[in-house]
Amino acid sequence: METQTPRNHSSSNPMHKMMLSCYKATELVSLSYERKLSRGEQFKLYTHTMMCKGCRQFLKNTEILDNMLQAHKEYEKNAKK
C-alpha cells in the first residue's frame, strides 16, 4: 500500500499563494487590534477563517477576550470615580 506525502504549500498552484497559513492568519487577527488591516489582508483572513475551524475559533476567542478587557477597563475607570 502506498502512503501519501503531505502537499507542499509552496507548489505552483495559485490557490496556495492566496491561502494563508494558520500562523499568518492568527498573526493578522492579533494585528487587527493594533491597526486596520488592508483589504487584501482582510480578504485573505476572511477566506481562511471560512475554511479553518481552528482559526475561526481563535478569532472568536480573541474577540471575546477583547470584549472582556474593554469591560474591565470601563469597570476600573468607573470604580475610580
pLDDT digits (tens, 9 = 90+) for 35-78: 999 999 999 999 999 999 999 999 999 999 999 999 999 988 88
Q: Which domain does 44 fall in, by range?
A: 20-79
Please tell me whether the overall predicted TM-score, pTM, comes out greater than 0.75 for this model: no
Is 10 within the bounds of a domain?
no
Overall domain count for the chain: 1
Per-residue pLDDT at 79: 85
d(CA 79, CA 74): 9
In a domain, 65, yes or no: yes
Whether 7 has a pLDDT exceeding 50, the answer reads no
Q: Helix/strand/coil (H, E, C) string of the chain?
A: CCCCCCCCCCCCCHHHHHCCCHHHHHHHHHHCCCCCCCHHHHHHHHHHHHHCHHHHHHHHHHHHHHHHHHHHHHHHHHHCC
Query: 48 lies in a domain?
Result: yes
Q: Is residue 50 part of a domain?
A: yes
Judge contact between 14 and 42, C-beta under 8 A: no
* Residue 57 covered by a domain: yes
Predicted pLDDT at 80: 79
